[in-house]
């Protein structure tokens, strides 16, 4: 059985709803009556810089939405973006139980822009669960780039075989697996708990 001492978690799609993925963008554009194709043309050019923390949320929105007059304010748009973040299906409780067992180092490896990431950390009290946040906006790297997983291992001083990485997307799991980390594709809380138990991970 694996000797897991550290568990790395994706946030959007695992613990919480995604912060600013396709569904969130679609709902927001629909709510404000914006043209999707026009927005996405600009978004696609900026999303890497946005999630790496190279540009602020205000800068991102000024170039994707507010490059022309709008019948709504920047604050109204941002508030709607933030409101879409919700806890997802009870998985946060599993992470909390494991954290409070004191048996495992708990960290995230996630792609999120700075302002949304900080909002979600505070709103959902993620600091009470995680000791490290290896977030793209903090480290300038994004999944599935191998570098972000290597950095997480270096920061936590763990061997790959001592680590488990949980994500909902197979592509994000591939690089972690190649480095020797145990990986779990989260599909439901029940399945996640069972797969963790198979690795000997219990609260």
Task: For the chain, give the DSSP string.
Answer: -----EEEE--BTTTB--SSSHHHHHHHHHHHT--HHHHHHHHHHHHHHHHTTSS-HHHHHHHHTTTS--SS-HHHHHHHHHHT--B-TTHHHHHHHHHHHTSSEEEEEE---HHHHHHHHHHTTGGGT-SEEEEHHHHS--TT-HHHHHHHHHHHT--GGGEEEEES-HHHHHHHHHTT-EEEE-S-HHHHHHHHHHTT---
Fold match flag (6-17+87-198 vs 22-83): no
pLDDT at 22: 96
Reply yes or no on whether the pLDDT at 1 is more than 90: no
pLDDT at 203: 85
Architecture of the 6-17+87-198 domain: 3-Layer(aba) Sandwich (3.40)
Architecture of the 22-83 domain: Orthogonal Bundle (1.10)
For 31-70, the pLDDT digits (tens) are 999 999 999 999 999 999 999 999 999 999 999 999 999 9
| Domain extent listing, the chain | 6-17+87-198, 22-83
């Amino acid at each position: 059985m694996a000797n897991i001492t550290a568990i790395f978690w994706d946030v959007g799609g695992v613990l919480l709803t995604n912060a600013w993925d396709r569904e969130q963008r679609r709902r927001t554009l629909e709510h404000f009556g914006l043209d999707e194709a026009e927005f996405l043309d600009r978004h696609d050019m900026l999303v890497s810089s946005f999630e790496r923390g190279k540009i602020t949320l205000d800068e991102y929105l000024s170039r994707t939405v507010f490059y022309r007059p709008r019948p709504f304010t920047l604050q109204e748009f941002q508030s709607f973006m933030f409101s879409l973040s919700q806890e997802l299906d009870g998985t946060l409780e599993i992470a909390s139980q494991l954290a409070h067992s004191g048996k495992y180092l708990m960290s995230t490896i996630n792609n999120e822009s700075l302002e949304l990431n900080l909002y979600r950390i505070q709103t959902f009290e993620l600091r009470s669960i995680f000791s490290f946040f290896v977030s793209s906006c903090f480290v300038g790297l994004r999944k599935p780039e191998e570098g972000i997983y290597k950095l997480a291992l270096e920061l936590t001083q763990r061997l790959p075989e001592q680590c488990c990485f949980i994500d909902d997307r197979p592509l994000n799991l591939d690089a972690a697996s190649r480095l020797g980390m145990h990986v779990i594709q989260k599909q439901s809380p029940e399945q996640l708990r069972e797969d963790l138990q198979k690795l000997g991970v219990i609260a």
